Chains A and B, each alone.
Chain A
Amino acid sequence: MTILSLLPILIILIIVIIAAKSMKKTANNQVRSMSVKWVRRIFGAYISLLLICTLVVPFINGNGWDDLKKAPVKDLEKEGIALVNAAAAGKIDSIDRKFIEKKWDFDFREQKLTVGSKNNEFISTQIFVERKKTNDQKIEAVSYKTRSSVNDLDVTQLTNPIRLKLAANTLTINNPKKAVLEFNTFNHVFSVSQFTGEPTLFAHHSSFSKGQSILYLRIPKDLKLINKPDVNIQFVE
């Protein structure tokens, strides 16, 4: 316990003093206090406000979350690992098609392909490359993404796909457009959470699980691939 941890107590003390001063005044015979009638009106109005809000809450509760499905973190981790393992082992077809986020097909007649990011930014998506058996002059790109969750709710649909652009011998990869998600969550007051075993007194618990995303490229057999250091490419045997 440091002196700093006394600060909340000090703040409370200051509030106490200010509040007590304002209340004490009314006890003093010199100062007019609010009439019984007005106190009743104000208190009545306050109670009405509380009751109206109580009636409104069931309608707004969980609003916007209705279309989000439950997604336990435990399942998500398994999915992510399974995806990477499958991709690395060349068994990407065994992955459920629901994880396919986006597909691209490019015609490509050149001998060399440079893979890089736009402004040399780091690409967090892992890239797997599989050489096809033939030189069909086509590049297939598939982006896979497992589910992401916030507090066990599936937010995958709120995230954006990776961006690809093929031009002049260069495949430019861009990170997805950043999805900015803001959530408000309502916790029990400490006098309830104390007895329900939830985190209490300004302690909070949240989970955020970011899904695994990979880009799977299928390239012609003899295409020469040059990768810039900002992308991480793993060849599939």
Chain B
Amino acid sequence: MSVIECHGLTKKYERNRALNNLSFKIEENKITGLIGRNGSGKTTLLKIIAGHLKETTGEIKVFSEKPFNNLTISANLIFIHDQMNLPTALNLQEILAAAAKFYENWDAKLAYRLFDYFSFNQSQYYQDLSKGMKSTFNIILGLSARCPLTLFDEPTTGMDAAVRHDFYRAVLKDYIAYPRSFIISSHHLNEIEDLLEEVLLIKEGKAHLHLPVEDFKEWAIGIQGKSSIVQEWTKDREIIHTKNIGTDQSYVVVRNQFSDQERQRARTAGLNLTSVTASDLSVYLTGKTEGGIDDVFNHG
């Protein structure tokens, strides 16, 4: 059984389409990274999965059921995001107690161990926490709920690097102990790529790529050298990114479909072939094909 399956999923707000004919399938017990730029529809997708929003057209199934207005789905997933609404009248300890009642698999021990580890105070109030502390507390909720599906939307907003790394380890450890499905959307792909098993890359409301993370790392290759030679070599290939270096050098990222022989020849032609890191690739893929911020300034 797949955890999430969607076909032709479209969500319109007023006029613009946040999701445009999105189709993908996520199998169970995987940690999937949801990658995309701001406004690419990541949050909209997660909200539809969580049953907060209703799709305009298309079909979405979570655990083989439609998630909107579905009590079973609501009980089996937890959606953690940086605009969580938590009751202002309850202190942190009371919020944990309330959450414990709602989620059948709630792990109170884990919750309190994390609570202490991150030095929360039971009588604190959520609205008094700093942004990073709020995110940390949200994560405690997300992990302790131990739902078959956990959605993290930008879970590390405002956290400092040390806490972010603690979080990644916590997710990994808890995942190994209790395998279940996670979907994590994050800007910090370089930090979470070791954690992920799959990458789902969204661009303009469409699923652009959906690959295991190992394949993703191999998916593209960077070619650097004299512009003329680079141009010749990349002529008929799927160009992902180009960048001019100096006057006659350029760096082009293309889909990695080279045979070993071709690589050899390229090197002899004076080209420098490099692998592209997952995070760089995600930036290139979700960005525009040609140019970048530099071009904005290089118009003269």
Contacts and interface: CB of A to CB of B under 8 A. Distances in A.
A30 B127 contact: yes
B43 interface: no
A34 interface: yes
Interface in B47-90: 85, 88-90
Contact of A32 (B85, B94, B127): B127
A33 interface: yes
Given A32-B125, A32-B127, A32-B128, A27 B94 contact: no
Contacts of B127: 29-32
B88 A32 contact: yes
Contacts of A27: 88
A36 B88 contact: no
Contacts of B91: 35-36
B94 A36 contact: yes
B37 to A, nearest CB: 27
A31 B128 CA distance: 9
A35 B89 contact: yes
A34 B128 CA distance: 13
A34 B89 CA distance: 6
Interface string A34-48: 111001000000000
B88 A39 contact: no
A1 B16 CA distance: 51
Contacts of A234: none
A26 interface: yes
Interface in B29-46: none
Nearest to B83: A29
A171 to B, nearest CB: 79
B88 A26 contact: yes
Nearest to A39: B89
Interface of A: 26-36, 39
10 contacts: A29-B85, A29-B127, A31-B88, A32-B125, A33-B88, A35-B91, A35-B125, A36-B89, A36-B90, A36-B91
